[in-house]
Structure 1
Amino acid sequence: MEKFERRRDRFALFDAMDSAAVNICFPLALPDFRPWCKQEGLAPFHVLLCAVLRAVLKVENFRYRILDGEVIRIERLIPSFTVINQHNDLNFAQFDWSDDLREFVARGIAAREEASNMEALNMEYAARTPLQAKEQVFVTCIPWLAFTAIQHPIASLKQPDIPSFAWGRFKEAGAGQLELPFSVQAHHGFVDGFHIHQLAGQIAAELEAIISPAA
């Protein structure tokens, strides 16, 4: 937590505001990993989800949370994301982490199928302990839209400590690259624009490592 202590005064500044959230939406440039996914029989959304969550764990500022009035640093993530059910209503999918990409994807697909086949809202998250509730980020994908802005709901305006991510429709960017709208919402006491820049670069690096593993 030494790194956080260096910015505790920034945290105090933003945490005292009515809303401490910073929200940036930008075009995220990535290596085009879709051909690799097709070759390997892996779902692109779940591969990207894995890359995003791996990146979150490597950019420390996205691991800070507020628990019982104190700032903590989480050591793991519980993957979660939104799905739509058979009535085109939102639901939540959650599953246990795996370091193995194929197992991660398999668990994610199983969680998606379970949540999308539920008519009632999946309340699994409500059974989490207070710490486990903090061991997640909120993820949504809006593949139909090339959106330019988004506002995520926050349970408490004064405590947007669990980051929210959203991404939209892919588009070709030439030379083996693709681009998609990407949104990051986080507590400004923890995260500045620079850290969002770091996260964007780390997501691209995680995907590059997945599709071009070292020999």
Structure 2
Amino acid sequence: MATQIDLSTWQRAEHFSFFKDLANPYFSVCVRIDAGELFAACKQSGQSFYLACLYALLRANNSYQPVCHRIDNNQVWLCDKIEINAVQLDEQNLFKISYLPYAEGFADFSEKGKIAFETAISQPFFSEQFNSIEGRLNCIHVSVLPWLDFTGFSHATPFGEQNGIPKYVFGKFDIQLGTMPLNIDVHHGLMDGFHVAQFVNVLQQEMAALAKSLR
């Protein structure tokens, strides 16, 4: 499900070489995204706003090649299908991690996502599912802080982590403005700020398209 990049011809080879050995090669950008139409469409159709955001994010990651690059053994790979590791809270307000596979349509994704959430909540944190998905490169890590309208975020990251998996955090939706914060954390050897800006545009397009389909 991944193709190795030829570093001898890859246009980012020098950038990758420069950043890959830094103690912290990741950079983080916090943006406000327009989610008003999607929120209204979910409320009208009875769909989960969180799952809708995850699906739009999944679509965007599979539509924009730079966020599909990963690092393994100092080599760069291009993943074919990106999937999601997402968090949700159990009854004790402890987060659990769910695995949401790639899906073409929102109905299929939503159905599988609800099952994944229920499964994760019913199991210990270090479950068989957690152990089976931990370390997969063809994924993105997604969290949500629906209580906070934050303007920045930092992640707990193992020292020397070099897999290049993007991390996303959704914040509190402002119903008056129709916006919410989104923190994007990516490996600088694989992407620059220009690419993050382009990705945000793709995400907004996916959110608008999903909102239209739910009306």
* Structure 2 counterparts to residues 54-203 of structure 1, below 5 A: 54-128=59-133, 133-159=136-162, 161-172=164-175, 174=177, 178-203=178-203
Matching residue's letter, 1:192: D
2:13 is matched with 8
Shift of 1:29: 2.5
Shift of 1:2: 7.5
Identical-residue share of aligned pairs (%): 22
Runs of 4+ in 1 over 3 A off after TM superposition: 1-4, 119-123
Question: Tell me, what secondary structure is at the counterpart of 1:134?
Answer: coil
Distance change >3 Å, CA 129–CA 145, structure 1 → 2 = closer
Question: Tell me, what secondary structure is at the counterpart of 2:186?
Answer: strand
Distance change >3 Å, CA 129–CA 110, structure 1 → 2 = closer
| Bigger Cα displacement from structure 2, 81-90 vs 157-166 | 157-166
Partner Cα distance (2:63, 2:6) in 1: 16
8 Å Cα contact 1:29-1:179 kept in structure 2: yes
Shift of 1:157: 3.1
Aligned pairs, number = 208
8 Å Cα contact 1:86-1:117 kept in structure 2: no
Structure 2: unaligned runs, 5 residues or longer: none
Matching residue's letter, 1:172: I
TM-score by length of 2: 0.88
Shift of 1:16: 2.2
8 Å Cα contact 2:37-2:208 kept in structure 1: no
Partner Cα distance (1:56, 1:143) in 2: 22
Distance change >3 Å, CA 43–CA 18, structure 1 → 2 = same
| Bigger Cα displacement from structure 2, 183-192 vs 118-127 | 118-127
Matching residue's letter, 1:143: P
8 Å Cα contact 1:78-1:96 kept in structure 2: yes
Structure 1: unaligned runs, 5 residues or longer: none
Shift of 1:53: 1.3
| Bigger Cα displacement from structure 2, 89-98 vs 2-11 | 2-11
- Per-residue deviation, residues 20-57 of structure 1 (Å, max 9, x unmatched): 01111122223421221123221111011010111111
- Per-residue deviation, residues 68-120 of structure 1 (Å, max 9, x unmatched): 32110000122220111121111101132211111101111111111122344
8 Å Cα contact 1:80-1:136 kept in structure 2: yes
Partner Cα distance (2:182, 2:134) in 1: 30
Residue from 30, 37, 46 that aligns with 1:41: 46
Aligned-residue Cα RMSD (Å) equals 2.1
Distance change >3 Å, CA 117–CA 129, structure 1 → 2 = closer
Partner Cα distance (2:36, 2:207) in 1: 7
